[in-house]
Amino acid sequence: MAKIIVLGGSFGGLTAAFELKRLLGKTADITLLSDMDKFVFIPSLPWLAMGWRKPEDITVPLKPILERKGITFIHEEVKGVDAESSKVVTASKQIAYDYLVIATGPHLAFEEVPGLGPDKGHTECIFTLEQAERANKAWNKFLEEPGAIVTGSVQGVSCFGPPYEYAFEIDYELRRMKIRHKVPIVFVTSEPYIGHFGIGGLRNSKRIMEDEFAKRDIKVITNIAVEEFASAEMRLKDGTKIPFKLAMFAPAMKGVPAVAHLGNPRGFIPVDGKCRHTKHKNIFAVGVAVAIAPPEQTPVPTGVPKTGYMTVKMAKTAAYSIASEISGSPAPASYEMDVLCLMDMGNTAALMRAKPLLPPRQESALKSGIIYKWSKAGFEKYFLWKIKHGLSNWP
Ligand SMILES: Cc1cc2nc3c(=O)[nH]c(=O)nc-3n(C[C@H](O)[C@H](O)[C@H](O)COP(=O)(O)OP(=O)(O)OC[C@H]3O[C@@H](n4cnc5c(N)ncnc54)[C@H](O)[C@@H]3O)c2cc1C
């Protein structure tokens, strides 16, 4: 019986594991390892930071949902992968595999900017459950005595959407509380222009986003790298100093240490159109763990976002590729990199569509409206229900 190991219990890992089980049934022994015992619906973390969601609203325990489907779950951190002998290494064991799917997401590289990050630095972050919970505490404390806020993305960031959501949400919430006039907000980003998003912009995203920030009276500084964060001051590379009471910044990402040796210099894994490692033929990688070259060299380094929608597509391609090799079923087509994303904007939301992901494109759109806010909340509920029931093949 083929032994398949999946690393990571989020969008990529869960989709791959459920799809493999559905396609191969009892002909494969599937094990999923994750250092977390729950699935977190990451797109709702900005809402959690605002106090609009609680952790229990957006998390699902992994063990019952996997075991119900006949997938073994091991709640342990992976320390390494020995690709030559096809073994996964944890602190307590070595597990052999015939096929490996890597879906370990990012290492958040706070260490690349002095003073960045909630653990050793002076800034909040909303990229993990713990960080968003902490950011919510910081927000509540800030509201007791409001002051200046600075938010955005440092050099090398690829996941640009969350700081945009955060900026629009705090603006909305402060206006709702009628204290917006007490809070100067500055949005600082490594993108060459607002609305670039790491993908060369889409359609009229620059104009729409510039208008949105102007309408909301949020000052924007683009195309800049950050020198450091001190306890109440942000220092930019051009010498500008911005004082703050509260700062929330996205960090650059790298591959996680356990699999970084299988990847490029930043630890992201090179794969072909079927999500197969370009050198190790029984290793597949999906989602944020995968290497994707940026569409253009930007003056300040930026990366390409790997969204949940793309991750799920990659995970299905990897699962179909492995299943076709084991069962002799037809191989899948190469996956197409495209984006369909809903960005919250506080009082409204935006639909973003880019097909293909990088220009030139057949389709590209950025539209805002309250209907997208309702769609985002509806999609959250639907996706959590789908994951709880292991229905990874549903749209
Ligand atoms: C705040 C935020 C908002 C977002 N909003 C959207 C959105 O609205 N729409 C959208 O499409 N995308 C959104 N994204 C992007 C989306 O969340 C990612 O594309 C998606 O999470 C990638 O899934 P993944 O499985 O590749 O990695 P991850 O979700 O990062 O999961 C990696 C998993 O691997 C586990 N892991 C890591 N290292 C190890 C190890 N050594 N051993 C064992 N387990 C390990 C982790 O615990 C985690 O469970 C957002 C991202 C962020 C941060």
For helices 161-176 and 205-215, give the axis angle rounded to 10 degrees: 30
Concatenated DSSP letters of 129-192: HHHHHHHHHHHHHHHHS---EEEEE-TT----HHHHHHHHHHHHHHHHTT-GGG--EEEEESSS
Spatial CA neighbour of 158 closest among 334, 323, 17, 305: 305
Question: Mean pLDDT over residues 325-335, rounded?
Answer: 92
Q: What is the mean pLDDT of the chain?
A: 97
How many Cβ atoms from other residues are within 10 Å of residue 329's Cβ?
A: 12
Residues 188 and 65 grouped into a single domain: no
Give the model confidence (pLDDT) of 336-356 as tens digits. 899 999 999 999 999 999 999
pLDDT at 366: 95
Residues 266 and 217 grouped into a single domain: no
Question: To test ligand 1's pocket by mutation, which of 6, 14, 15, 42 has the most ligand atoms within 8 angstroms of CB?
Answer: 42
Residues 272 and 297 grouped into a single domain: yes
pLDDT at 294: 85
Give the model confidence (pLDDT) of 133-166 as tens digits. 999 999 999 999 999 999 999 999 999 999 999 9
pLDDT at 232: 97
Residues 278 and 300 grouped into a single domain: yes
Contact call for residues 116 and 157 (beta carbons, < 8 A):
no
> Does 295 have pLDDT greater than 90?
no
| Residue carrying structure tokens 């919430």 | 173
Question: Mean pLDDT over residues 15-34, rounded?
Answer: 97
Contact call for residues 77 and 34 (beta carbons, < 8 A):
no
Residues 267 and 220 grouped into a single domain: no
pLDDT at 222: 98
How many Cβ atoms from other residues are within 10 Å of residue 361's Cβ?
A: 18
Q: Domain for residue 394, yes or no?
A: no
pLDDT at 395: 86
Distance 11 CA to ligand 1 centre (A): 7
pLDDT at 73: 98
Say how many domains are in the chain: 2
Residues 206 and 234 grouped into a single domain: yes
Residues 151 and 247 grouped into a single domain: yes
Distance in Å from the first CA to the final CA of the chain:
30
Distance 346 CA to ligand 1 centre (A): 23
Residues 217 and 156 grouped into a single domain: yes
Instruction: Give the percent of the chain with pLDDT over 90.
Output: 95
Residues 96 and 184 grouped into a single domain: no
**What band does 296 get if pLDDT is binned at 50, 70 and 90?**
confident
What is the number of the ligand 1 atom nearest to the C-alpha of 128?
Answer: 53
Ligand 1 is surrounded, with C-beta below 6 A, by 7-13, 33-36, 42-43, 45-46, 77-78, 103-106, 126-127, 159, 161-162, 256, 258, 287-289, 306-309, 311, 341-342
Q: What is the CATH number of the domain that holds 66?
A: 3.50.50.100
125 belongs to the catalytic site: no
Q: Using DSSP, state whether 298 is helix, strand or coil.
A: coil
Q: Domain for residue 70, yes or no?
A: yes
Q: What is the CATH number of the domain that holds 212?
A: 3.50.50.60
Question: Mean pLDDT over residues 99-104, rounded?
Answer: 98
Question: Mean pLDDT over residues 218-244, rounded?
Answer: 98
Helices assigned H by DSSP within the chain: 11-24, 45-50, 62-67, 129-144, 161-176, 205-215, 257-260, 308-327, 370-388
Contact call for residues 33 and 62 (beta carbons, < 8 A):
no
Contact call for residues 4 and 28 (beta carbons, < 8 A):
yes
Residue nearest to atom 33 of ligand 1 (CA): 8
Question: Mean pLDDT over residues 110-122, rounded?
Answer: 98
| Chain centre distance of CA 113 | 20
Catalytic residue (one of 194, 337, 341, 345): 341
Specify the range with the lowest mean pLDDT, choosing from 242-256, 268-282, 324-338: 324-338
What is the number of the ligand 1 atom nearest to the C-alpha of 127?
Answer: 53
275 belongs to the catalytic site: no
* Tokens matching residue 338: 């495209």
* Domain span holding position 234: 110-252
Last residue within a domain, chosen from 196, 219, 252: 252
Contact call for residues 282 and 276 (beta carbons, < 8 A):
no
